[in-house]
Structure 1
Amino acid sequence: MSVSVLSPVSVDVTLQSLLKPKDGSAPAKGAACNSRLADGPWVFDEMPAGYGPGASENDVIPADTPHQGVLPQEYRTASTEELDLRIRAAKAALGERVVLMGHFYQRDEVIQYADFVGDSFQLAQAAKTRPEAEAIVFCGVHFMAETADMLSGKEQAVILPNLAAGCSMADMADLDSVVECWEQLEDIYGTGPNAEGKVPVIPVTYMNSSAALKGFCGEHGGIVCTSSNAAKVLEWAFERAERVLFFPDQHLGRNTAKKMGVPLAQMPTWNPYKPLGGNTAERLQDAKVLLWHGFCSVHKRFSVGQIEQARREFPGVRVIVHPECPMEVVDAADESGSTDYIVKAIAAAPAGTTFAIGTEVNLVTRLAGQYPQHHIFCLDPVICPCSTMYRIHPGYLAWVLEALEKGVVLNQIKVSEDVAVPARVALERMLALKPAAAAR
């Protein structure tokens, strides 16, 4: 199997040309993980059974996951050119009343309108720099919009253009399951500190989690981490506790703790559907890091075989993967790091460097276009974008912006104060660590 090297055009344009050829020929087989990726995402708004086509299409979606209502027909049938004119006109009319945030994994057709582009935490922080904006339109996923709401001004409205833009990883850990886990751990460990003053266990949640779980951490002495400050956060936690309960992404937790010298034998996985998470009480007593059974379906697609293929085809290739990838993939790569790390590594590299990147394909393809002096390609030869980022489309963006022009706020994401207050505590504990870090 040959490594697929995408041209520096958008992923959406590539998918359209491969899956819906204008010459009437058959779609390219095996080019994408789902042939329906070429359809407008509104097709899937009336199908509440899943996340939609893309990397998370086979993940189980919780029953209470938000679903998007029907997008008005005028936005579904509008041409690319018409949507572009309408979005730009609405932005111009709104001026400083609105600020647009675009996540690295978002499609180029949306990113082009963003006032800020970055990872989840960078964007939440960026929103704080625009207190004059009445509305923050967050072109990302649900947990990111929640964080932006908690860190922005009380009078600012945070808008998610498509409510179906969630995160299957974040959904793999819910508050009820974490509370049940915590109660079982308290039964085993107790709650009192040891002779050194350390509590038995402390919760750490990845930024890619609900506001409710951030609030749980705030209430239980815990903290939030990002993909670039996870090691510093674990150090902070070990200064205060004998063990860490890390959720929802097992891979970030395992890869980080392993680099810190924690043996794999002391990192059991907690499966919320099994008694004691599928462990014995003895194994839990010996644990240092308890890893929630969660994962990112985008990063789970990368494999050691893909890295080996890239090295065969491109001797001297520099392989960088995201720490949400499985441990064996991180071990086989040259480097691992957050999206911000990947972007900065490529920007700083000498001209002519060949990069094989293990993260979401929209970012990889965009970087290939931004840095033509390098040879940059995605490790995964199959085009399979993040299912939920894919749900944001210019049609939804035009819809919410034109409504704002009329004084109507659509798809507002609002975190209740009873959740936001403890969640901010966990976030502020992270912010107090230096240097300030970037997220996924």
Structure 2
Amino acid sequence: MTIASVDTTIQLISSGSIDGATCAPELVDGPWLFDSAPPSYGPGASQDDPIPAFAPKQGELPEEYRTASKEELAERIRAAKATLGDRVAVMGHFYQRDEVVQFADFVGDSFQLANFAKARPEAETIVFCGVHFMAETADIVSRPEQNVILPNLAAGCSMADMADLDSVQECWEALEELYGTEPDADGRVPVIPVTYMNSSAALKAFCGEHGGIVCTSSNAATVLQWAFERGQRVLFFPDQHLGRNTAKAMGVPVERMPLWNPRKPLGGNDEASLGEAQVILWHGFCSVHKRFTVGQIEHARAEFPGVRVIVHPECPMEVVDAADEYGSTDYIVKAIQAAPAGSTFAIGTEINLVQRLAAEYPQHTIFCLDSVVCPCSTMYRIHPGYLAWVLEGLVRGEVVNQVRVADEVAVPARVALERMLAARPDTTMAA
């Protein structure tokens, strides 16, 4: 059976051609309809998240790209790529729509794509089909003379926006006042800041300047081990769930992981609980992975006895606990690749990746835990129309939508990223 792309599925549901449900009827519309005021993340998983004033904005997409057919856009993209050749490298995140991913030279998660960008020094321009923090990271790790383009500047990330530099600095000052700044007898400082890759360049720079480090969903345990060797406790932002799930698996009691709400004094905590804290978790989350529930897992097990449930560590703790396994997008992909034919998987991550895996591995039964089709709002802001626009601009010698991180931010952010790359898991630790 041919499995339709998420875009096609949404169109079929909207027209009544197939049964199903989406989280927003506006998903059938072109994302350019949401680029003008009032600003929003757009339809999809983050549609109800409040968007901050500093979120990036996109100007109007020229009409020829808004009105072109899917077939015309595909032909124009192919022609532009052929003309540009090795001068351009197109990066496509796992969560991008199939209609965009098909043109990517590299497909992966945010960390893999940053490495791919670094590995293409001959390319004059990197076109990053992902979200804003990913394009920033690509600019940080690529050569200074390379251009990094984000096809739609409004493709931000609501989780990344939940921790801004001012709020983190205020938190840091409060923690310094509470804990002091002197190391203990073992030389460990009071707090080590750890930021998830899904954060702004400014927060990566903050970590670089304060002895901290960056982590990904695949190396979070290694990074936390690195941090505990150097600090008495960790401040983890912006995703509370990745921090909680990782630290819990390492043996940190949940009661020693208070949540820091930046809108409340001391983050909504008292000095006693902060004094006992091992990991201070920022009040942030991924709206895609927040949608998954224990009830969905129970339903999948009832419908498909023997199903293998794998969820992303950005899911809430009770969902991770109820699943058979949890892991990064790369972990999920490799688990499916290695499974014996005839396996059944219920996956708790973004729908574009899940449906693509189902199409690529027809020997398995693969479905998303959430039956409602609800893609990542901000990944969905990248449309073939925007990709055609930026590529044809490059053919004309025009660089539009360039993402550039200032040196005063890029340099310390690079320090935090390099610490992450240098951190290696302790092979003597129990599995």
Instruction: Report the TM range for the smaller structure's normalisation.
Output: over 0.9
In 2, Cα distance between equivalents of 1:96 and 1:45: 31
Give the secondary-structure state (helix, strand or coil) at the position aligned to 2:314.
Answer: coil
- Alignment equivalent of 2:196, drawn from 200, 206, 217: 206
1:419 and 2:414 matched: no
When the two structures are superposed, what TM-score results if normalisation uses the length of structure 1?
A: 0.95
1:38 and 2:28 matched: yes
Answer whether contact 1:20 1:38 (CA < 8 A) is retained: no
Aligned partner of 1:404 in structure 2 is 394
Deviations 1:230-262 (A, max 9, x none): 011000000011000000000000000000110
- Alignment equivalent of 1:299, drawn from 272, 289, 313: 289
Aligned partner of 1:128 in structure 2 is 118
In 1, Cα distance between equivalents of 2:192 and 2:3: 44
Unaligned 5+ runs, structure 2 = 427-431
Aligned partner of 2:63 in structure 1 is 73
In 2, Cα distance between equivalents of 1:354 and 1:75: 40
Q: How much does 1:60 deviate?
A: 0.8
Q: How much does 1:417 deviate?
A: 0.3
Deviations 1:250-304 (A, max 9, x none): 0000000000110111000000000000000111000000000000000000000
Q: 1:370 to 1:420 in 2, by over 3 A?
A: same
Give the secondary-structure state (helix, strand or coil) at the position aligned to 1:32.
Answer: coil
Q: How much does 1:47 deviate?
A: 3.4
In 2, Cα distance between equivalents of 1:179 and 1:235: 24
Q: How much does 1:8 deviate?
A: 1.9
Aligned partner of 1:258 in structure 2 is 248
Give the secondary-structure state (helix, strand or coil) at the position aligned to 1:224.
Answer: strand
Q: How much does 1:7 deviate?
A: 6.1
Q: 2:173 corresponds to which letter in structure 1?
A: E
Q: How much does 1:429 deviate?
A: 0.2
Q: How much does 1:48 deviate?
A: 3.4
1:274 and 2:264 matched: yes
Structure-to-structure mapping, 1:308-387, within 5 angstroms: 308-387=298-377
Answer whether contact 2:77 2:391 (CA < 8 A) is retained: yes
Q: How much does 1:435 deviate?
A: 6.4
Aligned partner of 2:429 in structure 1 is none
Aligned partner of 1:85 in structure 2 is 75
- Alignment equivalent of 1:195, drawn from 174, 178, 185: 185
Q: How much does 1:197 deviate?
A: 0.9
Aligned partner of 1:390 in structure 2 is 380
Aligned partner of 1:218 in structure 2 is 208
1:170 and 2:160 matched: yes
In 2, Cα distance between equivalents of 1:21 and 1:268: 46
Answer whether contact 2:245 2:320 (CA < 8 A) is retained: yes
In 2, Cα distance between equivalents of 1:131 and 1:287: 44
Q: 2:175 corresponds to which letter in structure 1?
A: L
Identity %: 76
In 1, Cα distance between equivalents of 2:86 and 2:16: 41
1:17 and 2:15 matched: no
Deviations 1:380-439 (A, max 9, x none): 010000000000000000000000001000000000000000000000000002369xxx
In 1, Cα distance between equivalents of 2:71 and 2:292: 35
Q: 1:10 corresponds to which letter in structure 2?
A: S
Give the secondary-structure state (helix, strand or coil) at the position aligned to 1:245.
Answer: strand
When the two structures are superposed, what TM-score results if normalisation uses the length of structure 2?
A: 0.97
In 2, Cα distance between equivalents of 1:47 and 1:345: 42
Answer whether contact 2:222 2:425 (CA < 8 A) is retained: no
Q: How much does 1:21 deviate?
A: 4.5
Runs of 4+ residues over 4 Å off in structure 1: none
In 1, Cα distance between equivalents of 2:38 and 2:204: 26
In 1, Cα distance between equivalents of 2:302 and 2:85: 51
Q: 2:338 corresponds to which letter in structure 1?
A: A
Q: 1:20 corresponds to which letter in structure 2?
A: S
Q: 1:120 to 1:266 in 2, by over 3 A?
A: same
1:248 and 2:238 matched: yes
Cα RMSD after superposing both structures: 1.3
Q: 1:355 corresponds to which letter in structure 2?
A: F
Answer whether contact 1:7 1:365 (CA < 8 A) is retained: no
Give the secondary-structure state (helix, strand or coil) at the position aligned to 2:92.
Answer: strand
Q: How many residues align?
A: 426
Q: 1:433 corresponds to which letter in structure 2?
A: A
In 1, Cα distance between equivalents of 2:304 and 2:260: 39
Q: 1:230 to 1:89 in 2, by over 3 A?
A: same
Unaligned 5+ runs, structure 1 = 1-5
Deviations 1:314-348 (A, max 9, x none): 00000000000000000000000000000000000
Answer whether contact 1:91 1:401 (CA < 8 A) is retained: yes
In 2, Cα distance between equivalents of 1:143 and 1:196: 36
